[in-house]
C-alpha cells in the first residue's frame, strides 16, 4: 500500500511538472510574439528580453540566473584546460567576426563578463540613436560580444527565432552588425543611419522576472 501511494504521488508530481512546462512554453510564445510585434513597429533596445525567452526554453523550470549560468558553462566557455576558463570555439568565432566591425575586447574581458552577464543584461540600454524599427541589443564591449555569443547560440539551437534579424549597436548607439540564423552578418545600410526614434523596452517592466 505504501509503495502504491508513493508511486501515485510521483506520478502526480510528474504530471504537474509537465503541465507547468507546457504553460511556461505557452507564456514564452506569447512574450516572443509580443516582443517581435513591438519591434516591427518601433526600435526596441533591450539586451535581456530575447535571452530570457531563449533560456526559458533551454532550461524549463529554472530561474533565469540558473539557466544562464548553465548555458554559459555548457556552450560559451571552455573549462577543459588546467588554467582559467577560456572562450568556447563558438564564442571565439563570434568575437572574431565582431572584431571586424569595431568590437575589439580581449578574450579574457569577454570571459570575465560571462560570469556577470545576468547583472549586465538587466541594465537598460541608454542609447537612443538606433535607426529603423527592429530589435536592438549590444552596447559597449565586452557586453556586446557576450550578448551576441548568447543570441547566436540560442538561434542555432532554435530556442529563439533564427529568421528575425537582431541588430547590434555599439557604445555610441550605431548599428554595426546583424545576428541572423546563428551568424554575425553585415548590417543593412538603412539601419546604420542614427535618428532619435528609438524607444527602450524595459525588461523588468514588460516581461515577468524569472531571476
pLDDT of 207 higher than 80: no
In terms of pLDDT, which residue wins out, 7 or 30? 30
pTM of the model: 0.81
Question: pLDDT tier at 192 (50, 70, 90 boundaries)?
Answer: very low
Looking at residue 146, what DSSP letter applies? H
Q: Return the domain boundaries, the chain.
A: 2-206
Give pLDDT tens digits for 101-124: 999 889 999 999 999 999 899 888
pLDDT the model gives residue 27: 80
Beta-bridge partner residues of 175: 169
3-state secondary structure of 148: helix
Give pLDDT tens digits for 80-97: 877 789 999 999 999 999
- Supply the DSSP string of 106-137, one letter for each residue: -HHHHHHHHTTHHHHHTSPP------SSEEEE
Identify the sign of the CA torsion 48, 51, 53, 55: negative
pLDDT the model gives residue 95: 96
In terms of pLDDT, which residue wins out, 178 or 195? 178
Identify the sign of the CA torsion 79, 142, 75, 91: negative
Amino acid at each position: 500500500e505504501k509503495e502504491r501511494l508513493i508511486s501515485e504521488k510521483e506520478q502526480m508530481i510528474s504530471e504537474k511538472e509537465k503541465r507547468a512546462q507546457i504553460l511556461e512554453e505557452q507564456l514564452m510564445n506569447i512574450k516572443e510574439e509580443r516582443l517581435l510585434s513591438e519591434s516591427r513597429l518601433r526600435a526596441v533596445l533591450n539586451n535581456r528580453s530575447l535571452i530570457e525567452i531563449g533560456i526559458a526554453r533551454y532550461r524549463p523550470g529554472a530561474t533565469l540566473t540558473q539557466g544562464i549560468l548553465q548555458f554559459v558553462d555548457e556552450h560559451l566557455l571552455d573549462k577543459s584546460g588546467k588554467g582559467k576558463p577560456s572562450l568556447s570555439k563558438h564564442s571565439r568565432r563570434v568575437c572574431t567576426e565582431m572584431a571586424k566591425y569595431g568590437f575589439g575586447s580581449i578574450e579574457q574581458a569577454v570571459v570575465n563578463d560571462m560570469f556577470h552577464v545576468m547583472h549586465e543584461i538587466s541594465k537598460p540600454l541608454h542609447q537612443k540613436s538606433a535607426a529603423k524599427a527592429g530589435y536592438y541589443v549590444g552596447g559597449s564591449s565586452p557586453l556586446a560580444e557576450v550578448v551576441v555569443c548568447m543570441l547566436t547560440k540560442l538561434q542555432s539551437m532554435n530556442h529563439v527565432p533564427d529568421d528575425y534579424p537582431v541588430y547590434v549597436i555599439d557604445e555610441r548607439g550605431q548599428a554595426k552588425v546583424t545576428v541572423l540564423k546563428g551568424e554575425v552578418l553585415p548590417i543593412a545600410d538603412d539601419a546604420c543611419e542614427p535618428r532619435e526614434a528609438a524607444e527602450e523596452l524595459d525588461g523588468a517592466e514588460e516581461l515577468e522576472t524569472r531571476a
